[in-house]
Structure 1
């Protein structure tokens, strides 16, 4: 057994103990006997017998690293050994994955389910005291569950999911390691003149992934496409010239996501200088991830520094304070600084003030923020400031009363490059920050 597996085995045991304690507390508060977590089912496309790619219920993979197993169930009460109902049919149409021995198997009472419709025989007979957690509400109703995704219970779990156990932190380090390996290969593909489609394939091949195995659809953008925040085009035709490259791509390890972005210039030019400045900005802002600070305040600090970058590169002809006051900075930085990271790329709990689910709204001036929560040790964040030259937003600015605050000639020179985003994944510890992405040499 490898050192990594030994470490995961030890930390996984502690992880389960923590989840059991959380569950026991939550069930006691809500006067519920137990929870039944459904991994999910494959969903067929409309009027078709083909299914969409399966995505496991995050509540399910919080307990164990089964991320590609539909029709499985967990029965948990916070005290007894959890029961795993594992779906292993007899099927000559598809390749069936038998349940193999693993470090986590001994922590569960495992029951094999051969036919999905027979699951009720393996679930609690009296379901009045059990809550169903999953997306297939109609299935839950047919099975006789009355408490389906009760909001107070989910609020409790979502609030505490922001605090990552040592096991979860190790999984996030491993997912970052995979993603960094692939990012380095993608950079070389760009510098070799590959198309977006070829760069995507190089990324996937570097870690042996199919496109469906990434935690989200990779953004692989060349030149002006870098200005499209969620670009999914994957052009197969090479551009006339390679100018810029933005890649926002991740990886999975045991169901935990990495989410990393880098931007490159093909030449040593002004755009390369702007990338270097934004990289410095990103690292400076990341230092501000400290327990006790509100994430909103960190976003505002980044917003203010981006205003200063606009001044430094002569994109605007007013002071940074004036640009902030008029709101023109949002044209160049239209999204939030980052988000919680974990079982989901945009992990839950970012707007929660407490375990009851009290919501903290994002400021009106920064509506696209994904977290308004106070930063605490054990939380994991992305930090991803950006600076873009987006035609539609620039057109709105040009038609506004603040148009004269912009040096349009300098801005127009940057349109062909699209924009810049640099994103690292960071664990907040009490005494320091652990930048997993930089520690791995990216």
Structure 2
């Protein structure tokens, strides 16, 4: 069997098990609908239900439905309107077509008729409320969703191939962005260089690119792009990914301009620690421990760089690393950039708590072979957090002259996407492998 057909068979098994355990007889998944701006006829960018694109590589297809029945082929209701205002979806094609029972419809409302012979009072319907049609109202059963979300944390070989491809699509764009930065381009020009090299547009990126020069790198989710470069270009942070068949990559790199050796040395020190954290991605490891390890490693960087003169363990225990590293070490990655199921302690939906005082961590469950996670330590000079540190009892342990000098660079984040392998095996660094092969 092909990787995709194998993937489809695995999803069928998971769905049948979830249906049996929750007392439902069928699973119905809406792709979602096209939505429009308030008091306008301009559509928002369509975002498919991730449960739908888990089964089918259809990411630009509103008003479609998927029916999963035990022991039978999935039924796909494929919306292909007659339209001369816009380009409609092309005729169904690809490996998935022969694996399903296909019904093509021209009007969204006829989906209800195409599914009427299957739907019962024991049908689980997954989707947003606005996807409802007569007789097809999403009920999103919590226990069934928990079972599916828990299983989705572990990727099939097909999914891993899509995610490797998403890395390969992003890496040339990261290299193009760096070249534009070194040539003195503005944030907007760097962003355009990234789009051109990736083949993406703003409409189909997996998330909005973060492109920050100098102090803008201290804004974790910096959302703007200046059209003109600053008078002096010192540093550059880019957090940008790519998408293949609904699967995302999520990569961050930080660069120093030529002649800014102190900041370049700080980046190099962070890269050493980042690679050490990547090596901690092992089956059975509690991801929360990797997050706490990141704080210990950042404490080491802060001490060695002369930024904070404290014992490293004391720095972590007293929370002194938090103003410099205020976010989590990473998250699950897959059909969604911040993929679901990160806080689950078990498939029943029970919650694995975040470490006390670390509220922004997005993944708290133990690692399993087949999971893909991001490892993205950061070291930032964020004015509001530095003000709080300056007002604390630890202020005297900080070399504020060094902080002021480094604040001109904003901060550092280095992010790789990493696949956890079976016990005893080293992790697969999807990002570094793609850079190495580019």
Q: Smaller-chain TM-score range?
A: over 0.9
Give the TM-score, by structure 1 length: 0.96
For the residues of structure 1 that align with 2:289 and 2:98, how far apart are their CA atoms? 45
Q: Which residue of 316, 319, 337 maps to 1:345?
A: 337
Q: How many residues are aligned here?
A: 432
Cα–Cα, structure 1 residues 243 and 264, in superposed 2: closer, same or farther, change >3 Å?
A: same
Question: Which residue does the alignment assign to 1:223?
Answer: 214
Question: Which residue does the alignment assign to 1:190?
Answer: 181
How far does the alpha carbon of each residue in 1:295-327 deviate from its partner, in whole angstroms, 9 at most, with x for none?
A: 001111111010111000000122112211221
Cα–Cα, structure 1 residues 34 and 214, in superposed 2: closer, same or farther, change >3 Å?
A: same
Pairing of 1:35-434 with structure 2 (within 5 A): 35-125=27-117, 126-135=119-128, 137-140=129-132, 142-145=133-136, 148-268=139-259, 269-430=261-422, 431-434=425-428
Question: Which residue does the alignment assign to 1:6?
Answer: none
For the residues of structure 2 that align with 1:218 and 1:202, how far apart are their CA atoms? 12
Q: CA deviation at 1:101?
A: 2.3
8 Å contact from structure 2 (residues 112, 135) kept in 1: no
Give the TM-score, by structure 2 length: 0.97
8 Å contact from structure 1 (residues 128, 146) kept in 2: no
What is the Cα-based RMSD across aligned positions, in Å? Answer: 1.2
Q: Which residue of 424, 430, 433 maps to 1:439?
A: 433
Q: Secondary structure at the match of 1:246?
A: strand
Q: CA deviation at 1:130?
A: 1.0
Q: Secondary structure at the match of 1:85?
A: strand
Cα–Cα, structure 1 residues 293 and 139, in superposed 2: closer, same or farther, change >3 Å?
A: closer
How far does the alpha carbon of each residue in 1:231-262 deviate from its partner, in whole angstroms, 9 at most, with x for none?
A: 01100011001100000000000000000000
**Where does structure 2 lack aligned partners over 5 or more consecutive residues?**
none
**Where does structure 1 lack aligned partners over 5 or more consecutive residues?**
1-8
For the residues of structure 1 that align with 2:306 and 2:322, how far apart are their CA atoms? 17
8 Å contact from structure 1 (residues 39, 57) kept in 2: yes
Q: CA deviation at 1:127?
A: 3.1
8 Å contact from structure 2 (residues 155, 370) kept in 1: yes
For the residues of structure 1 that align with 2:340 and 2:310, how far apart are their CA atoms? 39
Q: CA deviation at 1:336?
A: 0.5
